[in-house]
Structure 1
Amino acid sequence: MTDPTGGDLLADSLINQGVSTIFGIPGVQLDAAADALQSRTDQVDFICARNEQATTYMADGYARSTGEVGVAMVVPGPGVLNALSGVATGYSANSPMLLIAGQIDSKAIGRGLGALHELPDQTGILERLTKWTGTARSADEIPGLVREAFVQLRSGRPRPVAIEVPPDVLAATSRAAAAELVAAAPLVPDEQQIRDAAARLLAAKRPMIVVGGGVLASNASVALQALAEALEAPVLMTENGRGALDARHRLSFDSLALRAFRGDADLVLAVGTRFVSTFGTQVDTNGAPVILINAEEADLGAPRASALSLHADARLALSALAAEVGSPAQESRESEFARVRSWLAEQFDDIAPQREYLSTIRAALPDDGVFVSEFTQVGYAASACYPAYRPRTYIGPGYQGTLGYGFATALGVKAADPSRAVVSVNGDGGFSWTLQELSTAKRYGLGLVTIVFHDGFYGNVRRIQKNRYGARYFASDLTNPDYGVLADAFGIRSAQAFTPQELAGVLADAIPANEPILINVPVGEFPSPWHLIHEGVPRPAPLAPGSHLIQRAGV
């Protein structure tokens, strides 16, 4: 029997970890890996993108919608650099991603010989943008590096990792065995800390729970709901934690509600969240003490000041707390919740045009349908108020704020489960960054519903220039394609909608059809949502009614 190559060991080690899909673009430094994957197409799908940037966006979407590891594979140098925006986005959103990065020949690394795709310090670049990076210097090392990568991915805080594999290492043979399955190793909470936290929660009259992406990462929704119901405590979800509790549940709120609840809260339990403001300070709790639970030890320290900090997996900690708390008799807080919901409704009236579009999309999607947001006016509003009914059904860009990430990320979500309804919401600015991936949607039959809200501007840049700089506009207008012609060029369906009602009709057909479709929604100026996203931003002056609507030509 022929000894396996490094490419064989890489492929088999990934398959043994449960990897069934890889997003990538082949190239000369990856030839041996590509050849190994070619002979294993019955075990792993390879989705070939049209730009390396899209490979990591798709891997991110795959990872965040499933909780499984999303894998991307690219050539070194420019391939890695193109892929890094997706890695940085995944890092900000705690996404379990693995980047397989090509390298130059192992004997040339670090010598500055000007090899094809050589970077001065590719390893150092990756180390600064990942949780862990390893480089294979021989084929024998590949299984161990894959194993360590999955140890990192399946323990502590999930974040991207990377493995570099030079072409000579991939082509070399070895007698090593492929890496075996690495089991998850969640952090077990300290029993005394659980008792202390439970006692504090039971003593509180008006506790409040704030949850982030760590609750989703650990699949802690059932335990979260049990604890919240036992305590009669509202659950406030950050954007990364959206969907941890069904938005229709009586205890479910988005993070904007913190402004209404904190005046009366006497204890805050913050789980799986960085719990810092955009200004780098602890979230304002109006003096209420805080209990922190996080799998990332660094997120338990300064600038946070906690009464108690638990370095633990969110699911294990919440389950233990729920068991310790039991089923105490709690006074109903329904009148308080009703007051907060009334206040929220008043705030959301400021963005009624965006909310009408969001309500249309929410009504069209099934409960488990996935909404992938983007940096566009409707997307900004979604970050404040889109209601998610299931875990992992709302995906945003994290703190990286990556314009243009959304469409390719949504393709990764769709590739993870082609039977699941997925809607990608884009602006005409961000969509143009990865629109070539319409080819990927067509080639692999990814029935993604892609909506482009088309106003002809970088809308937020334009608003700032209008409001702060006396309408001295600069480089904020766009020249866009005819979206119907663009869709035709890639062989996919297209549609156009000028109102939320028209969009509802299009979605009623598009979602069940489960085939790629590009929907153009021409819009005018939307009201600013920023006072709802960043505390302290002044409430904007209202726009003229209907300013967000564009009249259909000939009507």
Structure 2
Amino acid sequence: MTKRTTGEIIARSLVANGVDTVFGIPGAHMYDFNDALAREDSIRFIHTRHEQGAGYMAYGYAASSGKVGAYTVVPGPGLLNSGAALCTAYGANAPVMCVTGNIMSHLIGQGRGQLHELPDHLGTLQGLTKWADRINHPTEAAAKMDQAFAQMLSGRQRPVGIEAPWDVFGMAADMPDPVATQPAPAPRPDAEAIAKAAQMIMAAKNPMIMVGGGARDASPEVTELARLLQAPVTAHRQGKGVLSEDDPLSLLPPAAWKYWQNCDLLIGIGSRLELQYFRWRWMPEGLKVLRIDIDPTEMVRLKPDLGIATDAALGAADLIAALKAAGHTAPDRSGECADLRDAATEAFKAVQPQESYLGVIRDVLPRDGFFVEEVSQVGFSARMCFPVYAPRHYVTCGYQDNLGFGFNTALGVKVANPDKAVVSVSGDGGFMFGVQELATARQFGIAVVAIVFNNSAYGNVRRDQQNVYDNRLIGADLENPDFAALARSFGVDGYTADTPEELRSVLSDALAANKPAVIEVKVPRGGDASPWPFIHPQV
């Protein structure tokens, strides 16, 4: 037993659970915790220029590595500034931990107007996370940190929050050193359900596998299942790369849409099935749906014909074993998939200039490089045409689709993967949400190459106002800085590229330099072709 403060116990718990990086901004409420972090040699602290940046970097770290992404901010405005990042981590199922504070313990709930006070600070934090709690005394700290890690890492991974009042961070008590938390084991697949699933599959003629973020750690099993079934595999965002998208059975969404017309069995693995139910919004006659998902509430939210509540890898492995035991075989479908891919690739060439620029980025980015999208004309298009070769290498904001996500998140991706190339793509509007983090990239040498497609507008808003609202434009057009010059003013390399071939040369140079860089690509206002006919196709 050693006398330790609450701040020290929290820091020791992070270390015990393998956290090696914490993002954040120090502040008065957090000083005792900040100091505890400073005394932990195994933790790197990366301070950002905005709390939103800290949260997004923690998310990028977690989403790309599968490890815990941790950040710390002051309560009240600091927590609220990071709220968009917590929303993203929640929507995209990432293990992110937010450590924050509160006002003095004896003043909570009194409405005295203390520094950074919110009417219900813990309730606000709970509304943005899977689980959150307050440490009221150092004797609670180890147990509540253990519970935080257990909640975050068990079942469907999502962010958690932990707060302590200002005075409690510095209180001490005799406590043992924290130990690593053991998450709850995933439920084993139900044998009867597996048997029924195998029968469904053997009765199907044209099955399709849809993978989401829940399948990112099941790549070998999904690949083997696809081979056994000769079933094409598709993904929308989070599941890209679970089956390498140059595999003969992989179909990007535009090609998968054509196969969908005759699909009779949809096998969803770790996916909300957003592509089929929200994007495509058309179901083939007689379609059966089989789902494997660790979150049992998914079976209620979107009820399948058969649901198996288990981990993606466990469920797929048991299904493979059952099918092999039954002697299941299927005819080779690689030729059919190749024809669908070729036709879809040719059709998507109409989406210019995005398709050409994305083709160049894919050519230049190493096979094991990371691509971070952002809600933008190029980001939307990437989901349809940018092939990814391994899980977690396409980092997305999930269903939040929030501006300001891309560059900040990419910095966290690079911190987690320092030896890999990391490229982010943003529009001019979104990039300006987090431009201040160029200072963070420069200070810590975080070598992300940020490509900013500048069409002088919130492009999607502008197109909708033109096409749906009789060209009544409001708040759509933007006046921007010279992004390359702006980057250089931060001490970051700044480039411009006006054509895809210029981007090829500049991006190659920027990646080879292995330094933070911004590449501005100018696109005429209103010059982006709409990718939406491929995202919401019609029969």
Query: Aligned partners of 2:240, 2:275: CA distance in 1, in Å?
Result: 17
Instruction: Report deviation, 1:536.
Output: 4.6
Match of 2:201 in 1: 201
Match of 1:32 in 2: 32
Confirm or deny: 8 A CA contact 2:497 2:522 kept in the other structure: yes
Confirm or deny: 8 A CA contact 2:345 2:385 kept in the other structure: no
Confirm or deny: 8 A CA contact 1:276 1:283 kept in the other structure: no
Letter aligned with residue 472 of structure 2:
R
1:395 equivalent in alignment to 2:432:
no
Match of 2:135 in 1: 136
Confirm or deny: 8 A CA contact 1:189 1:311 kept in the other structure: yes
Letter aligned with residue 532 of structure 1:
F
Instruction: Report deviation, 1:282.
Output: 10
1:232 equivalent in alignment to 2:234:
no
**CA deviations over 1:77-122 (Å, ceiling 9, x no partner):** 0000001000001111111111111111112111211110000011
Tell me the percent identity. 43
Match of 2:323 in 1: 325
Confirm or deny: 8 A CA contact 2:230 2:332 kept in the other structure: yes
Letter aligned with residue 452 of structure 2:
V
Instruction: Report deviation, 1:254.
Output: 2.5
1:124 equivalent in alignment to 2:123:
yes
Match of 1:310 in 2: 308
- 3-state SS of the aligned residue for 1:506? helix
Instruction: Report deviation, 1:259.
Output: 2.4
Match of 1:212 in 2: 212
**Equivalent residue runs for 1:360-371 within 5 Å:** 360-371=360-371
Query: Aligned partners of 1:207, 1:278: CA distance in 2, in Å?
Result: 14
Instruction: Report deviation, 1:186.
Output: 2.4
Residue 67 and residue 37 in structure 1: after superposition, are their counterparts in 2 closer, same or farther (change >3 A)? Answer: same
Query: Aligned partners of 1:36, 1:487: CA distance in 2, in Å?
Result: 34
- 3-state SS of the aligned residue for 2:234? strand
- 3-state SS of the aligned residue for 1:133? strand
Query: Aligned partners of 1:458, 1:48: CA distance in 2, in Å?
Result: 30
**CA deviations over 1:387-414 (Å, ceiling 9, x no partner):** 1011111011111111111110000001
Confirm or deny: 8 A CA contact 1:194 1:320 kept in the other structure: yes
- 3-state SS of the aligned residue for 1:357? helix
Match of 2:265 in 1: 267
Cα RMSD (Å): 1.8
Match of 2:536 in 1: 534
Query: Aligned partners of 2:483, 2:401: CA distance in 1, in Å?
Result: 25
Instruction: Report deviation, 1:349.
Output: 2.4
- 3-state SS of the aligned residue for 1:518? strand
**CA deviations over 1:18-51 (Å, ceiling 9, x no partner):** 00011100000000001111111x2001110000
**CA deviations over 1:365-397 (Å, ceiling 9, x no partner):** 111100000112111101222110111110111
Query: Aligned partners of 2:502, 2:55: CA distance in 1, in Å?
Result: 34
**CA deviations over 1:131-152 (Å, ceiling 9, x no partner):** 1011111111111111111111
User: Please, which runs of 5 or more residues in structure 1 have no aligned partner?
Assistant: 538-555
User: Please, which runs of 5 or more residues in structure 2 have no aligned partner?
Assistant: none
Residue 281 and residue 466 in structure 1: after superposition, are their counterparts in 2 closer, same or farther (change >3 A)? Answer: closer
Confirm or deny: 8 A CA contact 2:236 2:275 kept in the other structure: no
1:160 equivalent in alignment to 2:163:
no
Confirm or deny: 8 A CA contact 1:23 1:49 kept in the other structure: yes
Query: Aligned partners of 1:372, 1:278: CA distance in 2, in Å?
Result: 23
Instruction: Report deviation, 1:492.
Output: 1.3
- 3-state SS of the aligned residue for 1:37? helix
Instruction: Report deviation, 1:478.
Output: 1.3
Confirm or deny: 8 A CA contact 2:208 2:231 kept in the other structure: yes
> What TM-score does the superposition give when structure 2 sets the normalisation length?
0.95
Query: Aligned partners of 1:373, 1:295: CA distance in 2, in Å?
Result: 26
Letter aligned with residue 470 of structure 1:
D
Instruction: Report deviation, 1:278.
Output: 9.2
Confirm or deny: 8 A CA contact 2:352 2:528 kept in the other structure: no
Confirm or deny: 8 A CA contact 1:63 1:69 kept in the other structure: yes
The size of the alignment, in residue pairs, is: 533
**Equivalent residue runs for 1:506-525 within 5 Å:** 506-524=506-524, 525=527
> What TM-score does the superposition give when structure 1 sets the normalisation length?
0.93
Greater shift, 512-521 or 187-196, is seen at 187-196
Letter aligned with residue 89 of structure 2:
G
1:452 equivalent in alignment to 2:482:
no
- 3-state SS of the aligned residue for 1:526? coil
- 3-state SS of the aligned residue for 1:351? coil
1:423 equivalent in alignment to 2:433:
no
